[in-house]
Amino acid sequence: MKFQVLTIIGHSPHPLSGDLPSPADRLAQVVDVGTAAERLGYDAFAVGERHAGAFLSSAPTVVLGALAARTHRIRLLTGVTVVAILDPVRVAEDYATLDQLSRGRIELVVGKGAEAGHFDLFGLAEERQWDLQKEKYELLRRLWSEENVDWEGEFRAPLKNVTTLPRPYAGPPRVWHGSATSLNSPELAARHGDPLFTANAIQPRAAYARLIDHYRERFAAHGHDPARAHVAAGSGGLLIADTHEQAVARYKDLYEARVRQSFRPHLEGRAGYNTPFRTIEDAIADGPQLIGSPQQIIDKILGCHAVYRHDLQSITVDAFGQSTAEQVETLDRFAREIAPVVRREAPSTLWE
């Protein structure tokens, strides 16, 4: 198993104290935690993209550029790049530039995003989101793998003899497809022989297993080697304590206050937006959240692996408003007490 740290740079008041850092301090925190993740031996650090809601991740390329300058080894991913609302020419240019700056450490996770508001913001029809994603992703593939591209589609002006610059550092970066609720992303990933990144953040395990099973079935049906069907899985936040009882006592108020704070009534009933695990006891028992003792967290990751057979586990340490010191402490403890066991029990050849 490989391990990634993910942030979507939430910027809401602390669910209990109401404290809210300045945008400058919050962004600096992300860079500090990313550099700590490299020092602690994590394989990747990912920055999300949001254009609606209380987030500071509208410009992930800028944040990843700062991380590229402060790190040397760790892979830098997106989580996700909302390719459906972007110009593929600009995506190709921006991320190839980052790939050069980081000397080949950039990988993309593309998806439609987990915010309903960004299609209106960019003047696009949400009901066309999958058509937008398919067309724009397939153009991005060509721009990175070909030169002198001629292209014509539905959602942007035609291209004639276009070669985007800079070219990627050492060939096209790996592109994962982020999947949370729909079979569209697993299908697109399978068609092109790309890896799948399942959100595994809010819904019960069976909902994500359905997406992964479809992906693996279609991956083989499209003639790709099943051994190349890499899968990654997210998590709904990481909180570690010495025992189950300590985890409940220490984090119950924090977890449940964040659930209330993040509830979006206008999206109630839409899969992937509001967690059904409202109490910390429910989250520990049945949710994707990694909360509890080290052994409980090991068991949950390995339980997911038995179903998902995933190569990469993504963790999030800033989901509940933790300070920089608390985040780094959590990363350190996970790296020492949990990651070695999971790496041994669920080995992966990803990135080797």
Backbone angles phi, psi at 224, to 5 degrees: -90, 155
Tokens of 187: 């299908």
CB 38 within 8 A of CB 349: no
Look up the CATH superfamily of 2-345.
Answer: Luciferase-like domain (3.20.20.30)
Specify the pLDDT at position 199. 95
Predicted local distance difference test score (pLDDT) of residue 311:
98
Residue whose token pair is 């696009």: 124
Tokens standing for 202?
A: 């809010």
Cα–Cα distance list, 265 to 9, 232, 274 (Å): 22, 29, 9
* pLDDT tens across the length of the chain (352 residues): 999 999 999 999 999 999 999 999 999 999 999 999 999 999 999 999 999 889 999 999 999 999 999 999 999 999 999 999 999 999 999 999 999 999 999 999 999 876 767 899 999 999 999 999 999 999 999 999 999 999 999 999 999 999 999 999 999 999 999 999 999 999 999 999 999 999 999 999 999 999 999 999 999 999 999 999 999 999 989 999 999 999 999 999 999 999 999 877 776 777 777 788 999 999 999 999 999 999 999 999 999 999 999 999 999 999 999 999 999 999 999 999 999 999 999 999 999 9
CA distance 66 to 132: 30
Residue 193 pLDDT = 98
Question: 189 is written with which tokens?
Answer: 């990933």
- For residue 69, what pLDDT is reported? 98
3-state SS, residue 196: strand
Look at phi and psi of residue 223 and say left if phi exceeds 0, alpha if psi is from -120 to 50, else beta. Answer: left
Of 130, 141, 149, residue with least CA distance to 172: 141
